[in-house]
Structure 1
Amino acid sequence: MNPSPVGVILAQIGTPDAPSAKAVRPYLKRFLSDRRIIDYPPLLWQPLLRGIILRTRPRRSAKLYQEIWMEDGSPLLVHSKAQQTALQSLLGSGYQVELGLAYSEPGMPLAFRRLEASGVTRIIVLPLFPQYSSTTTASVYEAACFAALGRHSRSGKVSKRIVPALRFIEAYHDAPGYIAAMKALLLRQLHSLNDEPNYYVLSFHGIPLRYAETGDPYPQQCLVTGRLLAEAMNWESGQWQVTFQSRFGREEWVGPSTADTLKELSGRGIRRPLIFSPGLVTDCLETLHELAVEGRELFASGGGTAENLQVAPCLNNNEEWIEFLAQMVNRTAQGWLQPAETAER
């Protein structure tokens, strides 16, 4: 009898299933109701969320999604499926790779059901977040644990008798393979340009400053990633900087702000900047619209020429990136694979 494969779940946050306010609203409700994302007391936050935010923001967000929506669906989901297919092909039959999204479909419970239907009893959860944050990595860890247990809370109904063994891949913000994959991507991007950029902006998704001050290591890990990538690319100290995007609400967020930086670049004599998002490994609304569309508008508002701002794509299913993911999975699966499978690798 062939041994059951080792399960692998590529974990992402999620995306609406259509570029409409009707589809965006339930996604935002789930996302913004997670207390790891917004940690205000529910008695204060939920009336604001349901009374104002969910009445106005879905319509605005839907318009943005409409501008970037792909023929096959949401960019994040399309690219995530491509990552899944490429990783499955590289890992081979000793593994079964599934997508598990925290706030939309295919969700974590579906990923676990598919794996368990194939007889999988050992599962590796691979967050597609190189830098750890309580708002991303911890959220998918939590979603995976509840899905594995077959319940929604500790006091909730038990729906499963057999719980699979789980292994979580930790933050890999400083892993040489991750840095090398980004270097290869950027070198290809630079080779395709007529004029070499004279400045590089490394934009990471932001978090409230309060989260960092109370223990979230995310901003520091972003800075480490930025430094290692700059060293790999041989950028001089005045040639690049780390910024943070996607601010929400009124409280102070980690900085400097990507939006503010883009408006200031021209005034600093920077005419041909390139912006890249190391922490977002899958193209989505935050890269395809916030950086590529709104980012060019911000650069132009500060006196720059919009077309001169180059935006590098995410890692998506680039070969070097998928090879790095496969290496992490194989290391994490040590002791779970049969001797013959190990010898083949």
Structure 2
Amino acid sequence: MAASQVQPSSTQRQCPAHAPAGHPAVPAPKVGVVLANLGTPDATNYWSMRRYLSEFLSDKRVVDYPSWKWQPLLQLIILTRRPFKSGEAYRSIWNNEKDESPLLTITREQTLKLAEAFRQRHGDRVLVDFCMRYGNPSTQSVLHRLQAEGCERILFFPLYPQYASPTTATANDQAFRALMKLKWQPAIRTVPAYFEHPSYLEALASSVREAYAAADSPPEVLVASYHGVPKRFLLEGDPYHCQCQKTTRLLRERLGWSEGTIQTAFQSQFGPEEWVGPQTVDHVAELARQGRKHIAVVSPAFASDCVETLEEINEEIRDSFLAAGGERFTYVPCLNERDDHIAALLAIAENELAGWL
């Protein structure tokens, strides 16, 4: 099957109700659910990385500098060097068996499991698929295919628990751009931020409990590391920073822990302007200098493990903590294809599908 088509096509064609004799058969009406993730390069070589990074860093939601200023810098300087470094990072975590990034592997598995959960509850009325904002499978190809298979209503589900302009908004933008190219648009709904949903919080808390139970000793501090954004975004009204802080508090309350046992930090700073902080890579080193010997790091903003978690956190940030005097570092994996995570995604999706199913 195609990379984006995680369910074999079961489209049955029939004449519409009240159709005159001789009317051509059309696909039976269905509801589509599309999980949207950030994206992935097709390979780790220079040109694959350059294509991916060019698309990603040319997105005005990600870098909103004027094009006349940003594009020459991006195309002539940044993209001559950065693909080598990014390719090296991806190679350290690449799924060599499937020859793809872990993000693609995990997102496909999440989609398959969610599709089965929908099938058990709603039969063949719902088609579930996934797309990537950058790279393949593209948002346009998936939405157009679902529409061709009879999905007259589509729920678009960005896999970002907290809303941010460079993640949720740009995913939705791409979906709407795809609809602009259709003569017959399906009705579409988008899933809002779900960081407060009880099922999501319980799955997140369970993942922490399991990681702590498996550790040889209890970590002294849990760092909740979120992808950073420029501080300017917060001042311009983006709710991401506030929702991250609230996620940490809700997780702590769900675990029943006292204040100070979970700390919030932000990773992946890029560019010269001030970003929200503290920066995770510096914060964990400071914890080590304060005498903390064992810490854990969890990534509540990522629904799937990816280069930012498997390479940046579990390699770069781990090394920063150990180099500063720390002794033991526990990484709490993302929720990925955990059964309780799939159950949470199902509950969130069904809530947003009210009146459609």
| TM-score band, normalised by shorter chain | over 0.9
Match of 2:159 in 1: 128
Residue deviations 1:94-119 (CA, integer Å, cap 9, x gap): 21111111111001011112201211
Match for residue 266 of structure 1 among 279, 288, 297: 288
Match of 2:17 in 1: none
| AA in 1 matched with 2:258 | E
Which runs of 4 or more aligned residues in structure 1 lie more than 4 Å from their structure 2 counterparts after TM superposition? none
Residue deviations 1:295-344 (CA, integer Å, cap 9, x gap): 11100221112xx111011000111111111111111112112xxxxxxx
In 2, distance between residues paired with 1:200 and 1:335?
41
Match of 2:201 in 1: 179
Other structure's SS at 1:65 match? helix
In 2, distance between residues paired with 1:271 and 1:333?
47
In 2, distance between residues paired with 1:196 and 1:266?
16
Deviates more, 1:275-284 or 1:106-115: 106-115
Other structure's SS at 1:238 match? coil
Residue deviations 1:161-202 (CA, integer Å, cap 9, x gap): 101100011111111111011011112222222211111000
Match of 2:347 in 1: 327
Residue deviations 1:64-86 (CA, integer Å, cap 9, x gap): 11110012210100000011001
Aligned pair count reads 326
Once the two structures are TM-superposed, the CA of residue 89 in structure 1 deviates from its matched residue by 0.5
| AA in 2 matched with 1:327 | A
Match for residue 88 of structure 2 among 43, 46, 63: 63
Q: Is the 8 A contact 1:21 1:61 kept in 2?
A: no
In 2, distance between residues paired with 1:68 and 1:162?
41
Other structure's SS at 1:115 match? helix
Match of 2:114 in 1: 87
Q: Is the 8 A contact 2:133 2:174 kept in 1?
A: yes
| AA in 2 matched with 1:105 | N
Residue deviations 1:197-232 (CA, integer Å, cap 9, x gap): 111000000000011111100000000000000111
Match of 1:157 in 2: none
Q: Is the 8 A contact 1:247 1:253 kept in 2?
A: yes
Q: Is the 8 A contact 2:195 2:243 kept in 1?
A: yes
Q: Is the 8 A contact 1:203 1:275 kept in 2?
A: yes
Other structure's SS at 2:260 match? helix
Other structure's SS at 1:103 match? strand
Deviates more, 1:86-95 or 1:284-293: 86-95
Identity %: 40
Match for residue 75 of structure 1 among 89, 97, 102: 102
Match of 2:137 in 1: 106
Match of 1:221 in 2: 243
Deviates more, 1:34-43 or 1:188-197: 188-197
In 2, distance between residues paired with 1:261 and 1:120?
47
Once the two structures are TM-superposed, the CA of residue 3 in structure 1 deviates from its matched residue by 4.6
Other structure's SS at 1:124 match? strand
Other structure's SS at 1:96 match? strand
More strand per residue: 1 or 2? Answer: 2
> Normalising by structure 1, what TM-score?
0.92
Superposition pairs of residues 1-345 of structure 1, within 5 angstroms: 3-70=28-95, 71-72=97-98, 73-92=100-119, 93-150=124-181, 160-305=182-327, 308-337=328-357
In 2, distance between residues paired with 1:114 and 1:187?
41
| AA in 2 matched with 1:149 | M
In 2, distance between residues paired with 1:107 and 1:280?
20
In 2, distance between residues paired with 1:209 and 1:281?
23
Q: Is the 8 A contact 1:185 1:318 kept in 2?
A: no
| AA in 1 matched with 2:163 | Y
- Give unpaired runs (5+ residues) of structure 2: 1-13, 15-26
Once the two structures are TM-superposed, the CA of residue 236 in structure 1 deviates from its matched residue by 1.7
Q: Is the 8 A contact 2:28 2:150 kept in 1?
A: no
| AA in 1 matched with 2:242 | Q
Residue deviations 1:136-179 (CA, integer Å, cap 9, x gap): 000000000111221xxxxxxxxx31011000111111111110
